[in-house]
Structure 1
Amino acid sequence: MSAPRTALARLSDPDLRESPAPPVPRRGGGFGSLTPERARVLMLVAARPSAITMLVIFILVYATLFAAGSGMSGSSGAIAASWLAVHQVPLVIGKTSIGLWPLLPTLGMLWLVARESAEAAADCETTELGWVVAAAVGGPLLITAVCLAVAGDAAAVVALQPPDTLAAFGWVLGLSLLAAAAGIGVRRWRDLADLLPIAVPDWVIAGFRVGVTAVARLLAVAVVLTVVSVLVHWSRIGDTYRAADGSVSGALGLTLMSLAYLPNVAVDAVSVLAGGQVHIGAGLLSLFRIDGAAVPAVPVTAAVPSGPVALWWLGLLVVPAAVGVLSGLECGRTSRDRASAPWATLTAAAVAAVLTALLGVAAGGELGTFGRIAPAASTAVLVFGWLALPGYVGMLGARWFGPAPALAGDEYYDDEDEYYYADDEYDDEYEYDDDNEYDDYDEEFDEAETEAEPAETGGWYDESDHDDALDAELVDDQDDPAPPVKSAENPDIVDAEVVEGDLPDK
C-alpha cells in the first residue's frame, strides 16, 4: 500500500495563491431599496437642518414679539415669513416689497444642509447618492409648502400678502440643490467625476479649487474694507442708534441686523473692488463715480461713502490684480504639466465669475422705497478678466521661477520636489547571487534533519525520495520564467504545474 502523495503547486503570481473571498452583497439592493440604517440617515438629512433653522426662527420671533410687547396672534405668519426670507423668497409686507434679505442666515442654513449631505454621502454607494440629494431637497420643500399655507391663512391677521408659489419653491429648490451638491462634491468628487461620460482632466479640478479660493480671498478683503469704512464713518453709526430711542432692545436689534447684512455689503464691496458698480435705487457707487442716494438706517450702511471720489481709491484695483496673480501662481504650481496650466487658469477665472454672479443675485433685491440694491451684472465679467489676465502673468511666473512639474511617464517621480527615484540610485548591497542565496538555508535544514528523531511510523526517506518529494522551485529565481497558463473557461484561474514524487511504501 502506497502512502499519500505530496503535491506542491507552483504559481507565478503570489496574489493568486489563495482564492479571493466572494463579494458580500449589500443588504438593501440597489437604487430602489433602502436598509433601515440608510433610511435613518436620510431622515436626518431631510429633517435636521430644517429643524435647527425652524428652532432658531422660533426663538427670534418670540423674543422679538416679547421685547416689543405685542401679542402672539401673528406669530405663525411671522414664522412662515421668516422661513421664506431665509430662503431669499421675495415678500410683500403691507405695501412694501422686500427682496433684499440678509445673507448670513441663508449661509448658515446652506452650511447645515451641505454638512448633513457630506456625512450621509461618506459611507454610501455611488448609486445611493441620489437618495441623499432627494432627502436634502425634500425636507425644505415640505416645510415650504406648510409655510405657504400658513402665510395664506395669516394674511387675514397680519399685513402679509401670500408670496408667489412658483418663486418660493424655485428659491428653496435651487438653494437646497446647491448646498447638497457642494457637500457631496467635497466628499465624493472623484466618484461623481467617474459618472461623467468623458474623463475630467486634472486641470479642471485644479482650476475649480483655485477659483473658489480666489472668491474667498476677494470676500475676505471686502469684509476688512467694510469694517474699516464703518470705523472711519463712526459718526453716522451714532445717528442710526439714536433713531432707536435709546432702548436696549432697539440697539440690539440694529446690531444683529447689521451683522446679518454684512455678507450682502461684502458682496457689494467685491463689485466695487473689481471696478464695477453697485446700484442703490436711482444712485450708484463705484471707484470712479458716486451718485448719491438714500440708504437704509442700519449701522452697516455707514460704510457707504457719500463722496466725492478720491484719487487714491484707484489704488484699490491692486486687490483683484494681486488675487489674480496669486491664483495664476497656484495654477502653475499645481498643474501636472506646462501645457495644462493656461487651461487651469481660465477655468479658475470662469469658476470665480460664476460664483460672483450667483452671490450677486442672492445679495441683491428690492427694498421698499429705497429701490433695488444690487451689484451690476458686469461684475462677473470684470472678475473673469482680473483672474484671467493677471492670472496668466502669475502662471508664467510660476513657470519661469518655480520648479518644473513632472511629466506623465517621466523617469523621475516629482511630488513637490520631495522624492526622487531613479534606477541607478539603488545601492549594490541589495544585489544578490542566484547561486549562493540559499546556501545558509540548506545548511540549517541539514542540521535540523540530523538532530531530529525518526518518526514512529517509519524511517527516514531516502535522499532521492526526499528530493523527489520536495522538487519545488521558486519562480522568482528563474532568468526567463514562463508566463502563467490561464484557463479558457475562467481567465482568472492560473493552471498550476504539479511536481509529484512517489513516497516509499510502508
Structure 2
Amino acid sequence: MPIMDLLTDSREEPVSDLEPDVELSRAARVRVLLAAAFGPLVTGYAAVATVLTLVTLTAERTVFSGTGVLLAAGPGWLAAHQVRLGLGGHPLGVLPLLPTLGALALAARTASGAAARLGCRSPREALSVFATITGAHALFGLVIAFCAQGSPVTANPLVAFAVPGLLAAAASAAGIVRCCGLPDVVAERLDPLALRGVRAGALGLAVLVACGAAVFTVATALSWRTVADMYEPAFGSSFGLFLLSVLYLPNAVTAALSFVTGPGFSVGDLTVGMFGYRGGAVPGVPLLGGLPEHHAAWWPALLALPAATGVLVGWSLRKVDADPAQRIRTVAVAGAVVALGCVLLGSLSGGRLGDGPFDPVSVPVGVASVVAFCWIVIPGSFVAFFAGEHEPPAPPEALEDNQAFEDAEEVDVAEAAEAVQELEESEEDEETEDTDEPEEPEEPEAELDADAEFEAEADAELGVEEPADDVPEDAEAVTGGTETCGDVEPAETDR
C-alpha cells in the first residue's frame, strides 16, 4: 500500500489543470504590456490637461471648456516631448524642458516596473517592453499630429512620430538596463579606466549644471525688483507667468551654464557672452528678469567655476592608474562625456520663437561643447598628472615573476660555469695522461757496479768468457731479447 501511494501521489498537476495556468500567464503578460504602453500616455496627457485646466480657471475673461482643454492637451503633450509646433503659421521651437524630463522619468519607471513584473532578467527578455513603450509613444504622437491638422496649433506628423519614439526608447532603455543587470555586464566588458572616465564626466556635467543654476539664482535674486514688476496685479495672469517660468527653468539654467563656460546665449538681438554683450528686447517673463542690461568687467572671474570643475574631475581621477598617460586618457573620456551632455542640453533648450524680435533663442552648441571639453581636460589633466604617481610600481605578480626569472638566470649561469670548469679540468687531465707516459725506474749506479763485479767474479770462477760485443742479430732474435713486459720476471736458464 505505501508503494502504491508513492507511485500515485504526484505533485504535478494534470495537464487539464496546467493549460488554464499557461493561458492566465499569457493574459497577465498582455495586461502588463498594455499597462506599460498606455500608462505613460494617459498619465502624461492627464498632467498636461490638468495644467491647462488650472491656467484656464485662473485666467480672467476666459470661459472654461472641457472639450477645448482636452483638445489643447494633445499639442501640449507633443510640446512636452519636444515636438516643434506651429501657432497660426508661426514656429514654436523653444519648448519647456521640465515636462520633457518628467515624461522621460515616467517612461523609464514604467519600463522598469513592467520588466520586473514580467521577471525579465536580460535585455533580450525585456525587448517586448522596450518595443511596446517606444511604439506606443510614436503612434500616439502620430495620431495627435493627424488630429491637429486644420487647427490653429499644428505639428509635422513625421516629427511627431519620430521624436516621442526616440525619447521613449531612450527612457525605457534606461529603465530596463538597471532592472536586468545590464550595467554590471557592460562594466565587465568595458575598459575600467573608460568606465571611471564616464563616471567622472557625469560628475563634471552635474557640477557645471549646478554652477549654472547658482549663477542664475544669484542673478535673479539681485534683480528681484525687476522680476516683481513683471508680474501683473491679476492673480490669473501672475499665476500663468509663474507657471511658464517654472516650466522653462531648465532652459534658463542651460543658458546660464553656457554663459559660465564662456560662449553665452542669445535671445533675438540680445547676445550675452562672457567677453561680449549686445542689447536687445526680451520677453516680459519673470524668468528673464535677471538678464543684465550691460557688460560687467568682473564677469571673467566666473570662469573660475568651470576651471574648478575641471580640477575636481582631475582630482577624482588622480589614483585611477599609476601611469600618468592612462590618467590623462581617462580625463579625456570625462571631457567627452561633458561635451556630449552640453550638446544635448543646448539642442533641447533653444529653438524658434515665432517670427518676431525674440526669434531665435539659441545656445551655440558647437562652441559650448568644445569649450566645456577644454575646461575639463586642460586643468583636469594637469591635476591628474602631478597629483598622482609618476613611477608606476610593478604589481606583486610581476615582481614575483621577475624574481623567479632572475633566480633562474643565476642558476643557469652557475650551472654553465660549473660545466665549463668541469670541461676544462677534463681537458687538462687528458693532456696530462697523454704527456706523462710511465718510465722505467732507473737503478742507482752504485747498485749496477756491484752487480757487474759480482757477475764478473762468478764468471771467472766458472771459466765463462764474456760474449763479444758484436752479437749477431740472429742470436738476439733466437733468444728473444732480454726485455721485460711490465712486472713479469724473465724465465731462469741453466748456465
TM-score, structure 1 normalization? 0.67
Q: State the partner residue of 1:125.
A: 121
Distance 2:43 2:271 in 1: 38
In 2, are the aligned partners of 1:50 and 1:140 still within 8 Å (CA)?
Answer: yes
Bigger shift: 73-82 or 252-261? 73-82
Please state if 1:355 is matched with 2:341. yes
CA 201–305 in structure 1, closer or farther in 2 if over 3 Å, else same: same
CA 385–194 in structure 1, closer or farther in 2 if over 3 Å, else same: closer
Q: State the partner residue of 1:56.
A: 47
Bigger shift: 231-240 or 371-380? 231-240
202, 209, 219: which one aligns with 1:212: 202
Residue by residue over 1:38-89, the C-alpha shift from the partner in whole angstroms, topping out at 9 and shown as x without a partner, is 4444333322222221111121122323333325253343111101110111
Please state if 1:371 is matched with 2:359. yes
Q: State the partner residue of 1:497.
A: none
Distance 2:87 2:399 in 1: 69
In 1, are the aligned partners of 2:322 and 2:392 still within 8 Å (CA)?
Answer: no
- CA displacement at 1:139 relative to structure 2: 2.4
Q: For residue 114 of structure 1, what is the amino acid of its counterpart?
A: A
- CA displacement at 1:328 relative to structure 2: 1.5
Distance 2:38 2:199 in 1: 30
In 1, are the aligned partners of 2:45 and 2:74 still within 8 Å (CA)?
Answer: no
Question: Secondary structure of 2:271's match?
Answer: strand
CA 118–352 in structure 1, closer or farther in 2 if over 3 Å, else same: farther
Please state if 1:167 is matched with 2:159. yes
Bigger shift: 312-321 or 109-118? 109-118
- CA displacement at 1:36 relative to structure 2: 4.6
In 2, are the aligned partners of 1:336 and 1:406 still within 8 Å (CA)?
Answer: no
Q: For residue 321 of structure 1, what is the amino acid of its counterpart?
A: A
Distance 2:393 2:63 in 1: 67
Structure 2 residue runs of 5 or longer lacking an equivalent are 1-17, 19-24, 401-495
Distance 2:182 2:323 in 1: 22
Distance 1:342 1:379 in 2: 22
Distance 1:367 1:212 in 2: 31
CA 173–269 in structure 1, closer or farther in 2 if over 3 Å, else same: same
- CA displacement at 1:212 relative to structure 2: 1.5
CA 305–406 in structure 1, closer or farther in 2 if over 3 Å, else same: farther
Question: Secondary structure of 2:317's match?
Answer: helix
- CA displacement at 1:165 relative to structure 2: 1.2
Q: State the partner residue of 2:470.
A: none
CA 39–205 in structure 1, closer or farther in 2 if over 3 Å, else same: farther
Distance 1:408 1:179 in 2: 44
Q: For residue 50 of structure 2, what is the amino acid of its counterpart?
A: I
Q: Count residues in correspondence.
A: 367
Q: Which has the higher contact order (CA 8 A, sep 6+)?
A: 1
In 2, are the aligned partners of 1:337 and 1:405 still within 8 Å (CA)?
Answer: no
Q: For residue 258 of structure 1, what is the amino acid of its counterpart?
A: S
Q: State the partner residue of 2:304.
A: 318
Distance 1:266 1:193 in 2: 32
- CA displacement at 1:111 relative to structure 2: 1.1
Residue by residue over 1:303-340, the C-alpha shift from the partner in whole angstroms, topping out at 9 and shown as x without a partner, is 21111x22211111011111111112222334587653
Please state if 1:236 is matched with 2:226. yes
Q: State the partner residue of 1:138.
A: 135
Structure 1 residue runs of 5 or longer lacking an equivalent are 1-26, 28-33, 413-506
- CA displacement at 1:376 relative to structure 2: 0.5
Q: Percent of counterpart pairs with the same letter?
A: 31
In 2, are the aligned partners of 1:335 and 1:405 still within 8 Å (CA)?
Answer: no
Question: Secondary structure of 1:258's match?
Answer: helix
Distance 2:54 2:396 in 1: 62
Residue by residue over 1:225-278, the C-alpha shift from the partner in whole angstroms, topping out at 9 and shown as x without a partner, is 11110111112112211xx3x111211111111111110011011111111131
| Larger of the two Rg values belongs to structure | 2
In 2, are the aligned partners of 1:267 and 1:363 still within 8 Å (CA)?
Answer: yes
Q: In the TM superposition, what are the counterparts of 1:459-470 in structure 2 within 5 Å?
A: none
Distance 1:344 1:120 in 2: 36
Q: For residue 255 of structure 1, what is the amino acid of its counterpart?
A: F
Q: State the partner residue of 2:384.
A: 395
In 2, are the aligned partners of 1:76 and 1:150 still within 8 Å (CA)?
Answer: no
Distance 1:379 1:170 in 2: 27
In 1, are the aligned partners of 2:197 and 2:334 still within 8 Å (CA)?
Answer: yes
Question: Secondary structure of 1:284's match?
Answer: strand
Q: For residue 35 of structure 2, what is the amino acid of its counterpart?
A: L
Distance 1:261 1:394 in 2: 37
In 2, are the aligned partners of 1:208 and 1:347 still within 8 Å (CA)?
Answer: yes
Question: Secondary structure of 1:269's match?
Answer: helix
CA 358–342 in structure 1, closer or farther in 2 if over 3 Å, else same: same
Question: Secondary structure of 1:332's match?
Answer: coil
CA 228–406 in structure 1, closer or farther in 2 if over 3 Å, else same: farther
